[in-house]
Amino acid sequence: MLTDEQLQKVNDHRTELSFKKGELLNKQGMFMSHIIYIRKGFVKLYIENDDELTTLSIAKPGTFLGVQALYGQPVSPFSAEALTDTEVCLKDIGVFREMVLVNPQFASGVIEVLNDALTQAYKRMFSLTTKQMDGRFSELLLYLSDVLYESNPFTLTISRKEIAGLISTTPESVSRLIGEFRERGLIRNKGHVFELLDKDQLKDICKCETLSIY
């Protein structure tokens, strides 16, 4: 997608950083001087409103953060917190923007990233506004196993409070749903380790053709 010369220029203006669990990669409202590429670890994206935090999504390795800052106001609309020890690569936003202007194929790739994010936002809004709580929880479990962790069983890196934020409910309801799904033989869990025992039934509950991105 980039020529060797262009790739070298991008690499000449990059910085690699490591973050411990709980550290902030960036803060909501902060000026974005770099695009963040997650190389290792999981990152929680959230917005703050007064004293309340709303979890937007969980980003995994291979995700770019801050691409929307290429256009319009170059400020972060969310905060990003490391859920695990995390390694990132910071790419200078000025150089990134230059590549968009001079390389049509690269620009097309950036537009595709932005389009995918918008499409998934629509899908998630549809899920939150039309599905019952057990359907939203089923969809999230499938997403965690099949997309985020790509494993079954998998080890949760998010709390029940954060799960509640993702599916628009309360931590108490999440605990109740876990108990109900366990009794129905849909899942098995021990501490933070979860295993999905009947994915077909979970898909029936959430009526999922494609999974929303959380």
Query: Is the pLDDT reported for residue 77 higher than 70?
Result: yes
Domains of the chain by start residue, with CATH: 4-126 (2.60.120.10), 131-206 (1.10.10.10)
The tens digit of pLDDT for each residue in 2-27 reads 788 888 888 888 899 999 999 999 99
Model confidence over 23-53: pLDDT tens digits?
Answer: 999 999 999 999 999 999 999 999 888 777 8
Element (H, E) at 194: strand 193-196
pLDDT at 130 over 90: no
The pLDDT of residue 213 is: 55
Contact call for residues 43 and 86 (beta carbons, < 8 A): yes
CA distance 157 to 84: 7
> Is a pLDDT exceeding 70 seen at residue 211?
no
Residue 188 DSSP SS3: strand
**Which segments of 72-103 does DSSP mark as H helices, in order?**
93-102
The tokens for 174 are: 């999440």
pLDDT at 188 over 70: yes
